[in-house]
Amino acid sequence: MSSDFYRMYYTEGYHEPKNSRFLKSTVFFERTLRDLSELLTCDPDEESVLAARRKINSMALFERIVAEQKIECVFVDDGFSNNDSAPLDEINRVVTAARVLRIESVLETCIKESRSLSELWDAITENANRLIPHSVALKSIIAYRSGLNITIPGKKDVEEAFLRIKRDRISKPRKESKALLDAVFLYFCAESAHRGIPFQLHTGYGDHDIDLIESNPCLLRGLFEMPAYQGVPFILLHTGYPYCRETGYLSAIYPNVYTDLGLAIPYLSESGMRNVFEQLSELGPMNKCLYSSDAHFLPEWFYLSAKWAKSTVQKTLNRMHTEGEISERFAIETYIGIFNQNAKAVYRLDGQNASSSIKSHSESL
């Protein structure tokens, strides 16, 4: 594992060697080297961390982190994977794991198999009926594909979008296929409402191929106002950063909208992470705020995310309590809720849905 290869897992920027040298000058990466030196018991420099990391099997490190951080369950979006990703059954040998179904992966698979729009809808329906019962949540990255301004498309526009995809051999439809993407998204919203399964939405910043303006969670207001989907538990992932206040506002206004702390924590500076949580809490109900790790590929992410989420939430609540804004009881209930009870409630982990075998709190990837 080269230093350039290792670094690319710590940035949302272009995964190129010329970009990795700039990563070294970020507060996040500097802090991460110190964190990893503690985890791996080595000096806090990149060479030492890499040398120590090469000696440890990834699954062995994952098992150790799970035990130390008291992680009792993980949610796995395996629609985002490569050949180095651990399969769900392997993760399940270490910790209880449940699948999150990424709808864009379903669509892309079905497009390959379909010669007409009617065949596409048949394939999507078949996959939904087969996969949703074995999933704990749905997830969409439509923010990456065509943006969060979801509208009800016309049938002709959907047909034309499908024909364009087949004609141009488009493997991952984007803005030029917005009508079809919106139609499929709304189909899964209806499935979520019908089946009572939560729906995770990527919001805010991400990799270089996202339009940050079109990933503003405020664009979802039209969707949230549609009566058909007001029973869908929508989880706005990644705090919507940098639109954190907007994300908190939406969770305060709409009873079915929840917020999530992943990605922004631990990517930001320490003051940035505190600001994110404080902005969410300005309006947002704390019993609708959930922790997630956004861990991917490297088990180290479980450690980094858990460490900094716990620290950020604890320090912020302590300050609020010290300043007399909240009671000790409220602070304790909020902390337990974010890392345990809120996920159990929204994902119905004690209920009879697809995750009924999960007995404790959830950490979503």
pLDDT for 293-341, tens place per residue?
Answer: 999 889 999 999 999 999 999 999 999 999 999 999 999 999 999 999 9
Q: DSSP character for 70?
A: T
- 81 with 150, same domain: the answer is yes
- 253 with 288, same domain: the answer is yes
Q: Would you say residue 363 has pLDDT above 70?
A: no
The whole-number average pLDDT for the span 13-23 is 69
Tokens (6 digits) for 103: 């709808």
The whole-number average pLDDT for the span 13-40 is 85
CA angle 335, 336, 341 (to 5 degrees): 130
| Final residue in a domain of this structure, among 33, 56, 79 | 56
Structurally, the chain folds into a number of domains equal to: 2
- 49 with 177, same domain: the answer is no
- 27 with 128, same domain: the answer is no
| Final residue in a domain of this structure, among 56, 79, 95 | 56
| Final residue in a domain of this structure, among 21, 40, 56 | 56
Burial 193-219 (b: 16+ CB within 10 A, else e): beeebbbbbbbbbbeeebeeebbbbeb
Residue range of the domain that includes 2? 1-56
- 41 with 151, same domain: the answer is no
Better-predicted residue by pLDDT, 8 or 263: 263
pLDDT score recorded for residue 213: 97
Amino acid letter, 306: A
- 139 with 10, same domain: the answer is no
- 114 with 28, same domain: the answer is no
Tell me the pLDDT band of 18, cut-offs 50, 70 and 90.
low
The whole-number average pLDDT for the span 172-192 is 96
CATH number at residue 65: 3.20.20.140
Number of Cβ within a 10 Å radius of residue 76: 22
Please list the alpha-helical segments (H only) found in the chain.
3-7, 17-23, 27-40, 46-54, 58-68, 88-92, 103-113, 117-131, 142-145, 155-168, 178-195, 221-224, 244-253, 264-267, 270-283, 300-322, 328-336, 342-346
pLDDT score recorded for residue 359: 36
- 188 with 52, same domain: the answer is no
- 45 with 184, same domain: the answer is no
pLDDT score recorded for residue 107: 97
- 122 with 47, same domain: the answer is no
Distance of CA 332 to the CA centre of its chain: 25
Candidates 219, 198, 189; CA nearest to 288 is: 198
Cβ proximity of 74 and 95 under 8 Å = yes
Q: Would you say residue 200 has pLDDT above 80?
A: yes
pLDDT score recorded for residue 130: 97
pLDDT score recorded for residue 357: 34
- Cα separation, 345 vs 281, in Å, equals 19
Tell me the pLDDT band of 82, cut-offs 50, 70 and 90.
low
Query: Model pTM?
Result: 0.92
Tell me the pLDDT band of 349, cut-offs 50, 70 and 90.
confident
Q: Would you say residue 132 has pLDDT above 60?
A: yes
Q: Would you say residue 264 has pLDDT above 70?
A: yes
- 50 with 112, same domain: the answer is no
The whole-number average pLDDT for the span 93-121 is 95
Q: Give the chain's mean pLDDT.
A: 91
Percent of the chain scored above 70 by pLDDT?
A: 91
The helix/strand/coil state of 266 is: helix
- 24 with 97, same domain: the answer is no
The whole-number average pLDDT for the span 38-67 is 96
The whole-number average pLDDT for the span 232-244 is 98
